């Protein structure tokens, strides 16, 4: 019988396991998927002696937290590279660098539109700064920072594609967490003087040579040399509790049902799934709050190409709604080890609800839907395509709808009453984290247990 149980082997669960195991604790990590790493794993495709790799949506590593930065650096033994960011947006048939290149933007937009952007920004200063209009939606937040016309030009379209709903229905928390510090003013400062305090404008980032998953594969290997064990293709089916304590977890492993009575449980699986597995069932108020939290899913198409290179960019964003995908990435431009020499690959990301049109399409249908766009943009032709692969993910984005906080607080109050439960990570906390933030949560959860048991 092991003392500590961690649910989910993504960045949060693994970093928690690593911290506990290196402090002499024993325990198990249960992972539903066949491979560890969560949303930050890297997948390998072998094609006749050629190896192609892709992240599930490429992951740049950036953290202002020096401890987390050197923590990962030590894990990778410094085997990660500095990559100069190269990102573009394709809007109304024109390419725009990101962060903005003033001359190019001016040439593409024209004088009249530029003046309109400036006037609208000044209007937003009057409304939101001088008259202090209260910000209640994501749309209002973005209008206040950029002015209405610039926000509509390059932010609201893409946001609505990602979330599948109007910016009026999204909570401003999402902007506060994700594009904190970004505004018309900060973009101009960065453009003219290179002054940059905003995470989303960072010019260089770290990347492990063999994909972001290398971080988590290395952590997994380290954990497996200790008294901590990781079980893949394994997941909980019943979380039995009594008197505000998790007593027993029933789980499925290779078609067998087993159980464990952990002293401490750390969950990084979707919070809504955790609630649905609890036995006895939580009160109806909690079940309803959980039902009201929504998750956005993603579909991916990975195309391998008999072509040296498609673009010089790592990412290109496609905000226009008539284009079915939201973003493409060329993995070779992150690290040359991601594709064989003289070959390349493109990862295409589609944002979707589970069971909507894109979700239900098979790989041929998605390929045929998308290929004409790439041929039109002169990226590649049908004859350049070697193979294509199709995969899907649920629970990718916790949706910050206007009332998400109310529902989340109800669930948090209930879960916080369990004395031996800590819930962490992006799905576990229903929080839109990056890798570094999930790793930090994992380490902090481990430290809490270490302090409790000292
Ligand atoms: C397209 C995309 C691009 C991204 N780009 C970046 C980036 O550039 N930089 C960055 O820092 N971050 C990026 N992120 C965010 C990053 O992926 C997450 O912050 C990170 O993976 C969160 O780690 P986590 O452990 O909290 O959750 P997850 O990675 O979701 O891990 C949760 C784990 O729990 C497992 N699980 C789920 N249900 C069960 C169950 N019932 N039983 C057992 N196990 C279960 C899952 O299989 C998974 O392994 C990106 C994310 C996406 C989707």
Q: What is the 3-state secondary structure (H, E, C) of 110-148?
A: CHHHHHHHHHHHHHHHHHHHHCCCCCCCHHHHHHHHHCH
- Strand ranges for 38-189 from DSSP E: 42-47, 50-55, 80-84, 87-91, 94-98
50 inside domain = no
Strand partners, 6: 29, 266
334 inside domain = no
* 143-168 average pLDDT score: 90
In this prediction the pTM is 0.94
Strand partners, 316: 88, 328
Give the distance (Å) from ligand 1 centre to CA of residue 38.
4
Tokens 């401490």 belong to which residue? 264
- What is the structure's pLDDT at 155? 85
Q: What is the mean pLDDT of the chain?
A: 92
Same domain flag for 279 and 146: no
Burial 120-135 (b: 16+ CB within 10 A, else e): bbeebeebbeeeeeeb
* 62-87 average pLDDT score: 89
Phi and psi at 352, nearest 5°, equal -155, 165
Give the distance (Å) from ligand 1 centre to CA of residue 307.
31
Name every protein residue with a CB atom under 6 angstroms from any ligand 1 atom. Answer: 7-13, 30-33, 38-40, 57, 59-61, 235-236, 268-270, 273, 349, 396, 425-427, 433-436, 438
- What is the structure's pLDDT at 1? 39
Residue 240 in this model has a pLDDT that exceeds 90: yes
Same domain flag for 222 and 163: no
Using CA positions, which residue lies closest to atom 49 of ligand 1? 38
Structural domain boundaries enclosing 235: 4-39+212-293+403-453
Give the distance (Å) from ligand 1 centre to CA of residue 45.
20
- What end-to-end distance do the CA atoms of the chain give, in Å? 20
Indicate which atom in ligand 1 lies nearest the CA of residue 393. 53
Give the distance (Å) from ligand 1 centre to CA of residue 39.
3
- Please state, in angstroms and rounded to a whole number, the distance separating the CA atoms of residues 433 and 165: 20
362 inside domain = no
- What is the structure's pLDDT at 195? 58
> Which element (helix H / strand E) includes 433?
none
Same domain flag for 112 and 180: yes
Phi and psi at 329, nearest 5°, equal -140, 145
- What is the structure's pLDDT at 196? 57
Give the distance (Å) from ligand 1 centre to CA of residue 148.
33
Same domain flag for 18 and 159: no
* Pocket probe mutation, ligand 1, options 40, 43, 251, max atoms within 8 Å of Cβ: 40
Specify the number of domains making up the chain: 2
- Please state, in angstroms and rounded to a whole number, the distance separating the CA atoms of residues 205 and 87: 12
Burial class of residue 246 (count of CB atoms within 10 Å of its CB; 0-12, 13-18, 19+): buried
Same domain flag for 105 and 187: yes
Given 161, 191, 221, the domain boundary residue is 191
* 233-262 average pLDDT score: 96
- Please state, in angstroms and rounded to a whole number, the distance separating the CA atoms of residues 228 and 165: 42
Given 191, 220, 243, the domain boundary residue is 191
Q: How confident is the model at residue 79 (pLDDT cuts 50, 70, 90)?
A: confident
319 inside domain = no
Helix (H/G/I), strand (E/B), else coil: 239: strand
Beta-carbon neighbour count of residue 371 at 10 Å?
18
157 contacts 128 by C-beta, under 8 angstroms: no
Lowest mean pLDDT among 86-100, 196-210, 222-236: 196-210
Strand partners, 299: 350, 392
Q: What is the DSSP letter of 215?
A: H
Lowest mean pLDDT among 56-60, 180-184, 270-274, 412-416: 180-184
């Amino acid at each position: 019988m092991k003392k500590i149980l961690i649910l989910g082997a993504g960045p949060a669960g693994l970093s928690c396991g690593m911290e506990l195991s290196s402090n002499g604790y024993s325990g198990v990590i249960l992972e539903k998927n066949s491979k560890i790493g969560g949303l930050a794993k890297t997948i390998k495709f072998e094609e006749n002696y050629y190896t192609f790799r892709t992240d599930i949506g490429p992951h740049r590593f950036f953290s202002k937290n020096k401890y987390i930065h050197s923590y990962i650096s030590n894990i990778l033994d410094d085997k990660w590279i500095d990559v100069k960011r190269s990102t573009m947006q394709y809007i109304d048939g024109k390419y725009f660098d990101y962060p903005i290149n003033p001359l190019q933007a001016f040439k593409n937009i024209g004088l009249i539109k530029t003046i309109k952007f400036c006037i609208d920004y000044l209007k937003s200063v009057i409304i939101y700064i001088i008259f202090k209009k209260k910000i209640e939606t994501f749309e209002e937040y973005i209008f206040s920072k950029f002015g209405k016309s610039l926000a509509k030009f390059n932010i609201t379209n893409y946001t609505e594609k990602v979330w599948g709903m109007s910016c009026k229905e999204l909570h401003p928390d999402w902007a506060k967490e994700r594009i904190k510090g970004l505004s018309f003013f900060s973009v101009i400062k960065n453009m003219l003087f290179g002054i940059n305090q905003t995470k989303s404008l960072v010019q260089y980032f770290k990347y492990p040579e063999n994909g972001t998953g290398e971080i988590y594969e290395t952590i997994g290997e380290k954990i497996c040399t200790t008294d901590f064990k990781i079980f893949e293709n394994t997941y909980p089916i019943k979380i039995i509790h009594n008197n505000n304590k998790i007593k027993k977890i029933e789980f499925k492993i290779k078609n067998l049902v087993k159980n464990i009575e952990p002293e401490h449980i750390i969950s990084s699986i979707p919070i809504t799934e955790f609630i649905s597995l609890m036995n006895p069932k939580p009160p109806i108020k909690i079940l309803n709050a959980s039902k009201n939290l929504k998750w956005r899913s993603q579909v991916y198409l990975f195309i391998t190409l008999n072509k040296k290179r498609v673009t010089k960019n790592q990412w290109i964003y496609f905000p226009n709604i008539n284009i079915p995908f939201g973003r493409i990435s060329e993995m070779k431009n992150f690290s040359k080890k991601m594709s064989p020499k003289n070959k390349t690959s493109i990862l295409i990301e589609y944002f979707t609800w589970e069971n909507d049109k894109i979700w239900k399409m098979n790989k041929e249908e998605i390929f045929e839907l998308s290929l004409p766009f790439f041929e039109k943009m002169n990226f590649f032709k049908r004859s350049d395509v070697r193979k294509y692969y199709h995969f899907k993910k649920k629970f990718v984005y916790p949706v910050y709808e206007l009332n998400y906080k109310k529902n989340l607080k109800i669930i948090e109050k209930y879960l916080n009453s369990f004395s031996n439960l800590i819930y962490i990570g992006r799905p576990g906390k229903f929080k839109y984290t990056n890798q570094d933030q999930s790793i930090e949560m994992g380490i902090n959860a481990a430290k809490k247990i270490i302090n409790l048991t000292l």
